[in-house]
Amino acid sequence: MPAPAATEVDRPADRTADEAADQAVARTWTIREIADEFRVTHRTVRHYEELGLITPERRGTTRIYHRRDRTRLALILRGKRLGFPLEEIRTIIDLYDRPRGKASQLEYVLGQIDERRTDLEQRRRDLEDALTELAEFERRCRTDLDRLG
Amino acid sequence: MPAPAATEVDRPADRTADEAADQAVARTWTIREIADEFRVTHRTVRHYEELGLITPERRGTTRIYHRRDRTRLALILRGKRLGFPLEEIRTIIDLYDRPRGKASQLEYVLGQIDERRTDLEQRRRDLEDALTELAEFERRCRTDLDRLG
DNA sequence: CTTGACGTTGACGTAAACGTAAAGCAATAC
DNA sequence: GTATTGCTTTACGTTTACGTCAACGTCAAG
C-alpha cells in the first residue's frame, strides 16, 4: 500500500476567510481549490470520483464541490493514513450516509461497524507495540550516547 | 497502499512444540514452514528477501530461516498492517540492528526514531478519531433500532 | 528408478493508486 | 482578436506488492 506521509494536512490552512463565506452563501469549491487545500492533485480527486468515493455536483461539465464532498475527502485521507485500501474506504463512507433504513438494514450496518472496530483495535495494538519498542530503542541509543560523551 | 486485513496472524499457532526445541538446538525453519506459520506465501517471503528485508542463511541453494528472520518477518507484517510501504519498513528494520556506532551515527538514528514516532502518533490520533466516530455512529444506529423495535 | 513433495531461479502478469501527456472547450486578460 | 489560464476527458505509463507459471534440482518412499 502506497501509504501517505503522516505529515499530510487534511484541513485547509486558511479557514478565516472561508468560514464567513460558508455561513453566508454555502460556499462551493472548484477541483483545483480542494485539491490544493487537501494537498493532493486534481488527478487524485478525480480518481476518487471514478471509484465512487466522491460525487461532486456537475454544472454542465464542470465539477462543483460542496462541504459534503470536503467531509468525504477528509474521511478518505484519514482512511488512507490508517492504511485502508480505497475500496474498503468506500464501503465505510457508504455506511456513514446510508439513509436510516429498516431493522434488518440497521443490523447489517451494526455488523459492519463491529468488523471495522475489530480491525481498528488490532491496528491500535500494533501501533502501541511499535511506539513502545521505539521508546525502548531510543532509551538504549541514549545510554550508548552517554557512554561515549 | 494495498493494506492487509487486520485479521492476520503474525505468530505461529502451535508454539508448545517449538519452544522446547528452540532452547535445545536453536531450531531453524524452511521457507514453507515460516510461510505457513505467518500466513503468507513463500513467494511473499522471497519478495521480502529480494527487497533486502530478510537475509536467511543459505545451505547450498536452500534457504534456512533462524529466529532472527522470524522476528524480522513479524516486524514487517506489523509494519504492513500499519500501512507502511515495504521500502520504508526496510529502513526501520535496518535501524533496529544497526551496530552501536559513533556519536554522529547515534544522533542520526535518534533523528530517525523521532520521525518515526511523529508519524506513528499522527496515526494514533487518526485511529482514536475513527474509533470515536464509529462508537458515536453505532450509538445512533442503536437508538434508531430501538425506535423501530 | 521413477514418482512426488518441496526446493530453486527467472520471467511475466496483475491490481491498486495514481502520474502524465494529449487535446479540447470556456472564460478572462491584454 | 488571441493568448493565457483553468477546467475537462481520454488514454497510456508507473510503482508497489505480490501472483503465477515454467523449468529445473534433490531427496525419501514405494
Is the pLDDT at B14 greater than 90, yes or no? Answer: no
Is the pLDDT at B13 greater than 50, yes or no? Answer: no
Q: What would the pLDDT profile of A89-121 be if each residue is shown by its tens digit?
A: 998 888 887 776 788 888 888 998 999 999 999
Cell for A38?
A: 487537501
Cell for B114?
A: 523521532
Structural domain boundaries, residue A11 = 1-84
A11 shares its domain with A73:
yes
Within-domain flag for A24:
yes
A78 shares its domain with A108:
no
B12 or A49: whose pLDDT is higher?
A49
Predicted confidence at residue A82, as pLDDT, reads 87
Distance (Å) from the alpha carbon of A3 to chain B's nearest alpha carbon: 5
The residues, ordered by sequence, that sit 6+ positions from A118 with a Cβ below 8 Å of its Cβ are: B6, B7
* Chain B residues closer than 8 Å to A9 by CB: none
Cβ contact A137:B113 at 8 Å: yes
H/E/C letters for each residue in A21-54? HHHHHCCCECHHHHHHHCCCCHHHHHHHHHCCCC
Q: Can you say how many angstroms the Cα of residue A92 is from the centroid of all Cα atoms in its chain?
A: 11
Mean pLDDT of B20-41: 82
Predicted confidence at residue B4, as pLDDT, reads 42
A15 or B143: whose pLDDT is higher?
B143
Cβ contact A145:B103 at 8 Å: yes
Q: What would the pLDDT profile of B58-77 be if each residue is shown by its tens digit?
A: 998 999 999 999 999 999 99
Predicted confidence at residue B25, as pLDDT, reads 62
**Apex CA B45: angle with CA B40 and CA B51, to 5°?**
135
Task: Return positions of chain C under 7 A from a protein CB.
Answer: 6-9, 16-20
H or E, element range at B121: helix B103-148
Within-domain flag for A91:
no
B102 shares its domain with B64:
no
Q: Which of B81, B102, B110 best tests the A interface by mutation, with the highest count of A CBs <10 A?
A: B81
State the total domains in chain A: 2
B23 or A82: whose pLDDT is higher?
A82
Q: Which of B62, B84, B106 is the last residue of a domain?
A: B84
